[in-house]
Amino acid sequence: MNYAQSVNQEHKKTNGQFFTPIEIAGLMGTFAEVSESSLRILDPGCGTAILTCALIESIVQNNSKLQEIDLIVYETDKALIPYTKESLDYLRSWLNAKNIELKFSIHTDDFILENAGCLTDNGNLFSQTINPFDIIVSNPPYFKLPIDDKRAIAAKAVVNGHPNIYAIFMAISARLLKENGQLIFITPRSYASGSYFKLFREYFFKIIEIDNVHLFVSRKDTFNRDKVLQETVIIKGTRKEKTNPKHKVHVYSSHGLKDIDSPIIKSFAQKELIDLSSNEKILYLPTSDSDEAILNVFKNWSGNLNKYNIQISTGPVVAFRSKDHIHDTYQNGTVLLAPLFWLHNVQQMALDWPMPKPEKGQYVRVHDESKSILIPNKNYVLLRRFSAKDDKSRLVAAPYFCNFIEAEYIGVENKVNYIYRPKGHLERNEVIGLCALLNSSLFDSYFRIFNGNVNVSATELREIPLPPLETIKEIGNSVILSNDFSVDKANKIVNEQFEFTLATI
Ligand SMILES: C[S@@+](CC[C@H](N)C(=O)[O-])C[C@H]1O[C@@H](n2cnc3c(N)ncnc32)[C@H](O)[C@@H]1O
């Protein structure tokens, strides 16, 4: 506490230093289930060792056979070490009084650089270099690493694109466990989906069977003291040579700290939360009956964009690289111009264009030099790639029809995805049907079950299950017939189609 107050926010950010509140440390401790008399424990990125202390306190209460603990902790911030040592000395005398011996060693080396080798040794538990652990507990640092950072390079077996350091801590820890050893981690929930974490998910969930998950739905409440706006998740898993798809997983959820002791609890077979045979291996975290009902609706759909010969791509106009081609105003026919659609033009069920804004010209000049950043004027669904934190819906999709403007080409800015049929064209009812679905609360709720952040990636959209194409067209026709293109109407039609009342979502 003293330390957290004495260092500034910048220092905390660069070291990923956000300490676990005592209530959460206590909860994480209770997740351990061990009956051995001798334990080897690891706490990578231990800070002042609050997690270790809470874990061991809980084990002592539940395991009367415990006689000795071999504890390894890692912490790179030397300024913290005196506090770490003080906690561990105290822990040792507390355990001594209970006739339990504690041997501890504090490593000040970088946990990743010291241990990443284990990621590529094929995980051989009998490897000379690994002395595996019974329990690993951690609140690792969270920040993105540059691709050329030596830690990202050392851990390249689990890294694609921009890695976040916390996932590397998790992957290495999974490898450092004994068979049936357990890990308990608190992290952002961003690893559940997205291409940057795909290799990580493949690696981690192949050897870790999930036992419990506790999701903190509020971004603000969990690490309140340090003002970290992250949706946070605790995962407790067991190392298995072969994971069992039928293994029962308990999903707890609470808003934040205040209701941490009275979470909502749901249980699922592991395969219902993560399908290890799927391409993306997305981890779904349903937290209520309605989430579960929504998952079941989507599970019954076997369609997707690809099966309907529909594709999604990212807008090719990168504004700062295309400055010379972008124009603010229509130039009275003196040069050939195509409309340019930005994120702010894309509204739910409606394209609002032109909507002039400083530095956001609404046209692209059509000439040979700009052809590579323009797309043919066809029917499209335009979809925002990012939502704002307080937006009501994560998915914001607008229809675009080729008769909107007389032009051979249109421009789509890079923060917008466009959905199209590469060979052929999307019918009017397909465009409206897809827009109605994407903007519906059914899709928004489904999306939130696996995506805890504000990004909407094309990869995720490609994987999203869709109802039969005929049903999409029927939805489109119903909206068109009603002549009411509002989000409310579209939502109502989608809900009626799938017999979902608004109250259940
Ligand atoms: C999110 S804090 C959590 C601290 C403590 N575990 C807790 O729960 O309060 C992560 C800690 O990891 C340390 N750390 C950052 N990078 C590290 C690395 N590469 N190896 C070991 N420790 C690291 C930071 O200095 C920080 O104290």
- Which pLDDT does position 128 carry in this prediction? 52
Cβ neighbours of residue 499 under 8 Å, at least 6 residues apart? Answer: none
* Ligand 1 centroid, distance to 367 Cα (angstroms): 53
Nearest to 207 by CA among 232, 162, 237: 237
* Ligand 1 centroid, distance to 46 Cα (angstroms): 5
Bridging pattern class, strands 397-400 and 38-44? unpaired
- Which pLDDT does position 129 carry in this prediction? 64
**Residue to mutate (ligand 1; options 5, 7, 15; most atoms within 8 A of CB):** 15
* Ligand 1 centroid, distance to 140 Cα (angstroms): 5
Pocket of ligand 1 (CB under 6 A): 15-20, 44-47, 50-51, 74-77, 80, 110-112, 139-141
- Structure tokens given for 457: 């990636």
**Residue to mutate (ligand 1; options 48, 76, 144; most atoms within 8 A of CB):** 76
Give the model confidence (pLDDT) of 61-109 as tens digits.
999 999 999 999 999 999 999 999 999 999 999 999 999 999 999 999 9
Give the model confidence (pLDDT) of 177-228 as tens digits.
999 999 999 999 999 998 889 999 999 999 999 999 999 987 666 665 444 4
| For the chain, domain boundaries | 2-287, 306-504
Nearest CA, atom 6, ligand 1 = 46
* Ligand 1 centroid, distance to 166 Cα (angstroms): 10
Q: pTM for this one?
A: 0.90
- Which pLDDT does position 3 carry in this prediction? 45
- Which pLDDT does position 226 carry in this prediction? 46
Cβ neighbours of residue 332 under 8 Å, at least 6 residues apart? Answer: none
- Which pLDDT does position 127 carry in this prediction? 53
- Which pLDDT does position 138 carry in this prediction? 98
Nearest CA, atom 10, ligand 1 = 141
- Which pLDDT does position 222 carry in this prediction? 61
CATH number belonging to domain 2-287: 3.40.50.150
* Ligand 1 centroid, distance to 139 Cα (angstroms): 7
Q: CA 131 to CA 178: how far, in whole Å?
A: 9
* Ligand 1 centroid, distance to 17 Cα (angstroms): 6
Cβ neighbours of residue 168 under 8 Å, at least 6 residues apart? Answer: 112, 116, 145, 151, 152, 155, 158, 159
CATH class (in words) of the domain with range 306-504 = alpha beta
Residues of the chain with pLDDT under 70: 1-16, 122-129, 219-230, 331-333, 389, 500-505
- Which pLDDT does position 392 carry in this prediction? 83
- DSSP three-state, residue 209: strand
- Which pLDDT does position 4 carry in this prediction? 47
Q: CA 176 to CA 412: how far, in whole Å?
A: 47
